Amino acid sequence: MAVSEASAYPPIEPTNFDLIIVGTGLPESILAAAASAVKKTVLHLDPNSFYGSHFATLSLIDLTSHLNSHSVPAPPLPPSAAGSGDSDYAVVDLVHDPLYSDIEVEWHGSEDETSKIREDSRKFNIDLGGPRALFCADSCIDLLLKSGAAQYLEFKGVDASLVYEPNGSGLANVPDSRGAIFRDKNLSLKEKNQLMRFFKLVQQHLAGGGDQSESGGDIQKISQEDLESPFVSFLDKMRLPPKIKSILLYAIAMLDYDQDNNEVCKDLLKTKDGIDRLAQYSSSVGRFPNAPGALLYPIYGEGELPQAFCRRAAVKGCIYVLRMPVTSLLIDKVTGCYKGVRLVSGQDLYSHQLIMDPSFVIPSPLSPSLGDFPREKIQLLSQRDLKGMVARGICITRSSIKPDLLNCSVVYPPRSLYPEQVTSVRALQIGSNLAVCPAGTFILYFSTVCNDADEGKKLLKAAMNALLTPPVSVTSESNPIVQSDNEDVKPIVLWNAFYIQKVFTGKFDSMTSAPTPDGNLNYADILDATEKLFGQMYPDQAFFPKTESPEDTMDENGVIMES
């Protein structure tokens, strides 16, 4: 059930549920589908007029509006929003804690270019939490197949994975297969042999050391001591040169922090985990016939993922209501336990569990008007852990960063842009063949984890300037910006946005905040956190149990690939 016209705020029936979820981000939508699949009664609300929350795909106009509205605290609701309530419950108002800050949105180019982009603004589908892509063999694909949500999605392979090389070398292909290594003109013969030997060692280890090969020799196995050591130290032990190390650590294992800098590295990867990441990347290459590399991207944008899970949940009986803000929580006056929510319409609804959009919290301190009340327990309900920040950037251009590619990913390893760079930058270019922008335009996403806004935006702008022509103000018709087809000329930025997003994880209770988008390219950590949260909510229930119903089962062929 979906209610599209909320201006009159029609009453919702029934009023009691096993689970109420506020926000249709990817974690919330997966939880709605998973709970509905085990026959829980679920009400899924969203104050927005669109699905996806912080994982949404929006038009150019809507993206700018959404960022601006979610970068400042929301104004208080009018007095008419409050209802009479139940005398057994205290009404605790929620407040909006903005996830976004330091927003910059700029238009560039000639008046004609700007006018054309504005006219086409509704034809852009821009990811709010980009860059995002799926590995062909990662847990998100498995979950889409297991849940049945894959039937609502269509994917296209990302044409190439690239790594930025400094000192004028530019973009090089990530050598992710035996054929790619031999075709790579940026690798010397010695480097190719070193990389092939290393990949062979990894493959033999994964195949099971201690056995004998067909030729009679022992299959090599990485020692337990090496598996527990830092991956960067193991690569040094293998005498791999810095260039190969950088590709393995940052373009294949997708690490954020400089692994050679112990002072700043927050996620020093162990060799055993590095081997797992290499194995995932390797098994992703060639899994689907129409995907040339390791990555997939959904047609129409990443916002299609939460919508697919919402559709799956609706099939199983979940009730959907958009444009319906939740203003307050209903809390038992004696125990301090969560009991329900109050809507902007004034209606009170009740549930055993509540999952909240991470931008809504209980204020601290609580209002004195609540009187004698278990305050500490209430404020624990909406506790979140601030894990850090992600700087995000989006650019629109008229040409590709590499003339023969429409869609590609790029990694800038630490120290590739300037000596003080301690984190990787990830970029993803998406073209019009994925139905996210008009023909002849491209969307380029950038992101990096950061400790403060200035640091993050400085790094993103350096990454942008390395691949694109920096924005130039045009003050007269006699000096227009002309996009050359010469491949040595960088694409010109026509529009860009930069912003900082907080990264939160919630603490489990009867009310829990959903995870925010993180700084990763894929969804692995978000899905792990979501499945863990479901297990805490329903420890006796399977996360998307197997079913014998033919419409609920899918195999690998259920991932629809556009040719």
Whole-angstrom Cα distance, residue 222 to residue 216?
19
pLDDT tens string 465-480: 999 987 664 333 333 4
Dihedral of alpha carbons 444, 449, 453, 459, sign: negative
327 alpha carbon, distance to own chain's centre: 27
Given the structure tokens 């139940």, which residue do they identify?
A: 86
pLDDT tens string 380-428: 656 677 889 999 999 999 999 999 899 999 999 999 999 999 999 999 9
Query: What pLDDT is recorded for position 105?
Result: 92
Query: Residue 535 half-sphere exposure, CB side, CA atoms within 13 Å?
Result: 6
Query: What pLDDT is recorded for position 209?
Result: 55
List of residues 6+ apart from 501 with CB closer than 8 A:
54, 99, 100, 129, 389, 390, 391, 392, 516, 517
pLDDT tens string 112-167: 888 889 999 999 999 999 999 999 999 999 999 999 999 999 999 999 999 999 87
SS3 382: coil
Percent of the chain with pLDDT over 90: 60
Report the range of poorest mean pLDDT among 203-217, 308-322, 325-339: 203-217
Query: What pLDDT is recorded for position 563?
Result: 52
Whole-angstrom Cα distance, residue 466 to residue 391?
17
Residue 32: closest CA among 16, 45, 17, 21: 21
Cα 435 to Cα 62, 122, 124, 309, distances in angstroms = 17, 12, 8, 21
CATH number, domain 177-204+220-284, options 1.10.1040.10, 1.10.405.10, 3.30.30.60, 1.10.150.120: 1.10.405.10
pLDDT tens string 173-210: 998 777 778 788 778 888 888 888 888 888 888 887 55
Query: What pLDDT is recorded for position 478?
Result: 35
Extract the tokens encoding 249: 């650590």
Whole-angstrom Cα distance, residue 296 to residue 251?
16
The full set of domain ranges for the chain reads 16-98+301-386+506-547, 177-204+220-284
Per-chain mean pLDDT for the chain:
85
More confident residue, 312 or 177: 312
CB contact at 8 A, 299 and 140? no
pLDDT tens string 506-515: 777 767 889 9
β-pairing verdict for 408-412 and 160-165: parallel
Label residue 39 exposed, middle or buried (CB < 10 Å: 0-12, 13-18, 19+): exposed
**CATH dotted code for 16-98+301-386+506-547:** 3.50.50.60
CB contact at 8 A, 313 and 33? yes
pLDDT tens string 447-501: 999 999 999 999 999 999 999 987 664 333 333 444 444 446 789 999 999 999 9
- Asked if the domains 16-98+301-386+506-547 and 177-204+220-284 are classified in one and the same CATH topology, the answer is no
Angle at 251 between CA 409 and CA 518, to 5 degrees: 75
